[in-house]
Structure 1
Amino acid sequence: MGPNDERFLRWLREDIGSALRGVLSYHGREFEVYYLRADLKGDDAWRSNVRADLPDLVEIARGEHAASDLVLFGDFAGTVRVFSNAVLVQFPVSENAGYGVSLDTDVTPRLVGFMNTAAAHLEQERA
């Protein structure tokens, strides 16, 4: 994990607090889990499911980078998937790299503000 990753993770933990479930980065087909909340880390069944599903989630995220070509709505900041138990947010930072962030569903009312602030934070890191 590089300094930019550390700063982004620190910012996420401060902004989202205990609702932050997990954070990973991906580059090409490779990915690295940077953070997993303690209660999830201790759940063997959940961890097993995550290990099985993460490669597919990363592949889906990589495919969504094509959305950045849609200029009708402005700059592409990321993708949000809302599930009954979690919200998954994907932030692309280059052609084939980005972050996946998992949040508790109680952050959903703040989601648009969170997305805008996180995208600005990442843009600042790239500058």
Structure 2
Amino acid sequence: MKCIIVNDDSEMRKTIGKLIGHSRGMKLLSVFNSTSEAALFLRDNCVDLVFFDIQMYDVKNLEFIQNISERTFVIYIPEFSPFVNTTKKPQLEQLSESTIAKRFKKGVDEARIFLKLIKKEKPDILDDYFVI
């Protein structure tokens, strides 16, 4: 699977990049800290999977999401983790590596299923498939 990361948090980009590097069959094509750069890249490149920080402070987030191909699976990454019980923005190192890896694997497994169904040309899958 060819993938990109769109996230303005450098620690999160590193963590996701590391997980991609350790995952069989995945290739990280590029990393972006803005949706405008990522949108330009997507115009000329075929991408299977986008890891996207839904809470980036980029006014073009909605426009970016709307222009992603229907055949591209998007895994939305929140700025904060729902696993840490605190009112402050948690540091990435506070999260256990196993928790991050498990969530990453689950998302990637869903992407693999989606992409297999797309390749089998099941036209109705696009209407029913949305994962957060």
The alignment's TM-score, normalised by the length of structure 1, stands at 0.31
Does 1 or 2 have the higher relative contact order (CA < 8 Å, sep 6+)? 1
> 1 or 2, which has the higher helix percentage?
1
When Rg is computed on C-alpha atoms for both structures, the one with the higher figure is 2
Q: TM-score, normalised by structure 2?
A: 0.30
Structure with more of its chain in strand, by fraction: 1
